[in-house]
Structure 1
């Protein structure tokens, strides 16, 4: 009986020691085993792990993707137009040993402060090398990737891996908006005036070319018309000459009829002529000969 009373407390102590030497690693975390502040083991796989009871300390760290959303900062691009930039980063603790050595017992709170400074410096460095128009444009993926890469290089000393950096908002300071908008409007008006001037110059150049082409075309057309008319008149005179030579009486008849047609048109039916006028001799002749009495 006395022996069993002695064994039972021993068993309880052994059980407590065994239980205190075991710990569980969750799939969402990594754990360090510290002995007198020095890392003696790293457990990243989920499951059951062991430590020396009462001597070793187990420190958990998250293995999830973490977010950091620092306060907006003022950035001065190349064109000296100050912008308010609000960004956030997503990161993961990649190397827990290096992370512990870098931040000590401060953990994620200390790491967040250091990461904010690294992120701010990277944003200022990258955005300070471009103009505000590049920053305010819709295509900012290249800038965000450059910021991520620079932040990732510097955050490696903390044992962190930067997965992504995003610019949530890039605005003008309230005190500069009015002046900046006025300057932007003036620049756009200047560009519009320049474009209109170029348009008018191009219009005048095209109009002058078109006018010159039209004059040349009309001149060529008139020249060809005169040539054609001259050739037609020559052909007509040749035909008349041939007709007159072949039948002088028919030619006299045709010429008289043409003269009557021209003179006796509608609204012009009254003519005052002397009795001996030869105009109607062709009609007064019995034989139709205009030369007879």
Structure 2
């Protein structure tokens, strides 16, 4: 009976010691085994693990991809148009030992410490990268390349914390409320200047087209007049040749024909008046044989 009294407490203590020496590593985490604050083992595989009760302790860290919202910051691009930027980053703890040394804490407290230091790194990289480009580049589709530059710049510095920056995204990029009116006025002035330049270039091009069209018109008109004069001269030559041939064939009839045409042209209308000498040659073919 006395032996049973001693055995039961021993068994209970043994079971308690056994249970306290066993811990489970979840697949979503990594664990550090510390002995009097000194690292003795790293458990990064899921399953059962062991430690020395009362002497060793277990510190757990999240092994999943973590997200961190970067507090809003103001940046000044190369065109001096100040912007308010909201961003977030995704990262993962890759070296738990270095992470422990950098943060000096465990669990959620270590995550918060690392997050604040990561904020400082990302804010610095964001200002440096966005300060080298114009605001139009930040607001355009080129922002994907800018986010990649921010991520690549933050990777090296974040490595000293034992973490890997996986991605950086700009959520919002806005103008400060105090600068909206001035910025819109400047944008309007720039657009009006660009419109005026386009109008001036258009007028210049239109003037060149009109000048070319006028020159072409003059050339075409001159060529047409030249051809018309040539055709008119050839026609006059043919007419004169026909008259000459007719005159040579019958001189008397030719003179008679020409006189009739002259009469037709002169005596038109009902009120034609002519003042001429009666013995004018114009009336030769209107006289009788006696000359009356």
**TM-score of the pair, normalised by structure 1:** 0.84
Q: Aligned pair in 2 of structure 1 residues 216, 10: CA closer, same or farther (>3 Å)?
A: same
Q: Secondary structure at the match of 1:169?
A: strand
**Aligned partners of 2:150, 2:96: CA distance in 1, in Å?**
24
- Which residue matches 1:64? 64
Q: Which moved more, 1:204-213 or 1:156-165?
A: 204-213
Q: Give the C-alpha shift of residue 82 in structure 1.
A: 2.0
Aligned counterpart, 1:152: 155
1:199 aligns with 2:207: no
After TM superposition, give the deviation of residue 205 of structure 1 in Å.
Answer: 2.1
**Residue 45 in 1 paired to residue 73 in 2?**
no
Q: 1:50 to 1:250 in 2, by over 3 A?
A: farther
Cα distance in 2 for residues equivalent to 1:25 and 1:12: 25
Distance in 1 separating the partners of 2:253 and 2:62: 124
State the partner residue of 2:11. 11
Which of 213, 216, 231 is matched with 2:216 structurally?
213
Pairing of 1:162-241 with structure 2 (within 5 A): 162-241=165-244
Task: Describe the shift of the 1:276–1:104 C-alpha distance in structure 2 as closer, same or farther (beyond 3 A).
Answer: same
Residue 91 of structure 1: CA displacement? Answer: 1.1
Matched, 1:110 2:113: yes
Deviation at 1:136? 2.8
Separation in 2 of the partners of 1:258 and 1:68?
Answer: 111
- C-alpha spacing 1:241/1:89, structure 2 compared with 1 (3 Å): same
Deviation for aligned residue 1:7: 3.2
Look up the match of 1:143. Answer: 146
Q: Considering only aligned residues, what root-mean-square deviation do their CA atoms show, in Å? A: 2.9
Residues in 2 aligned to 1:99 and 1:249: alpha-carbon distance in whole angstroms: 133
Q: Unaligned stretches of 5+ in structure 2?
A: none
Q: Normalising by structure 2, what TM-score?
A: 0.85
